[in-house]
Amino acid sequence: MSRSQYFNLQNENFSGKISYEDINDVYYVGKEIGAGRYGIVRLVAKRSYDSKRFALKSIPRERINTDIKMLERELEILLMTDHPNIINFHEIYMDEYYFHFVTSMCEGGELF
């Protein structure tokens, strides 16, 4: 499936949000800090500004291939949560195996 076929996302807010650059070229990927039903979360730092930490949620593409709506929902939620007291979405990357969501790093325990 080509990228253009794969990304027939309905919401125009996603336009230009997905990068195909290698995540490892942009971020230092660190230790795993959490795992969930859909993927794992790692601590990362941007190579161009390595003193700031971010969270990287990686979701296997095979999980999304069966439910593209899941990706759309995840992006919609992250795009709507732009507030200093809530997690902030920064970037999304796609490679051969994963979608990588870069968000602000929230410390202090788990959020339920």
Q: What backbone phi and psi angles, to 5 degrees, belong to 99? A: -100, 135
The domains found in the chain, sorted by start residue, are: 18-104 (3.30.200.20)
CB neighbourhood size of 101 (10 A): 22
Supply the pLDDT for residue 9: 44
Q: What is the pTM of this model?
A: 0.75
Q: What backbone phi and psi angles, to 5 degrees, belong to 58? A: -110, 120
What average pLDDT does the segment 36-48 reach? 91
Number of H helices, E strands in the chain: 4, 6
Secondary structure (3-state) at 87? coil
Token pair listed for 104: 């602000």
Q: CB of 81 within 8 A of CB of 106?
A: no
**Which tens digit of pLDDT belongs to each residue from 48-81?**
988 999 999 999 988 776 677 777 777 777 777 7
Supply the pLDDT for residue 16: 62
